[in-house]
Amino acid sequence: MPDKLTIVKIGGNVIDEPEQLKSFLLDFANLPGLKILVHGGGKLATGFSKRLGLEPRLVDGRRITSDADLEVAVMVYAGLINKSIVARLQASGCNALGLSGADGNSIVSQKRPVGEIDFGWVGDVKQVHARNIRLLLEAGFTPVFCALTHDGQGQMLNTNADTIAAELAIGLSGNFETELLYCFEKKGVLRDVEDADSVISTIDSASYARLKTEGVIHQGMLPKMENCFRALQGGVRKVLIGHPGLLANPQDVHTRLRL
By CB under 8 A, name the binding residues for a copy of itself. 48, 51-53, 71, 74-80, 82-84, 86-88, 90-91, 95-100, 102-105, 132, 135-136, 139-141, 148, 150, 152-156
Where does residue 58 fall: left (phi above 0), alpha (psi -120 to 50 degrees), or beta otherwise? beta
Where does residue 152 fall: left (phi above 0), alpha (psi -120 to 50 degrees), or beta otherwise? left
Indicate the residue among 54 and 196 with the shorter CB distance to a copy of itself: 54
Residue 155, C-beta contacts closer than 8 angstroms, at least 6 positions apart: 111, 121
Q: Which among 120, 93, 81 has a CA at the least distance from the CA of 31?
A: 93
Minimal distance, residue 222 CB to a copy of itself, in Å: 30
Minimal distance, residue 103 CB to a copy of itself, in Å: 5
Minimal distance, residue 213 CB to a copy of itself, in Å: 43
Indicate the residue among 125 and 217 with the shorter CB distance to a copy of itself: 125
Residue 211, C-beta contacts closer than 8 angstroms, at least 6 positions apart: 200, 203, 217
Residue 60, C-beta contacts closer than 8 angstroms, at least 6 positions apart: 116, 117
Minimal distance, residue 229 CB to a copy of itself, in Å: 31
Number of Cβ within a 10 Å radius of residue 32: 7
Indicate the residue among 59 and 91 with the shorter CB distance to a copy of itself: 91
Minimal distance, residue 72 CB to a copy of itself, in Å: 9
Q: Angle CA(90)–CA(158)–CA(223) in degrees, nearest 5?
A: 95
Indicate the residue among 175 and 198 with the shorter CB distance to a copy of itself: 175
Indicate the residue among 88 and 237 with the shorter CB distance to a copy of itself: 88
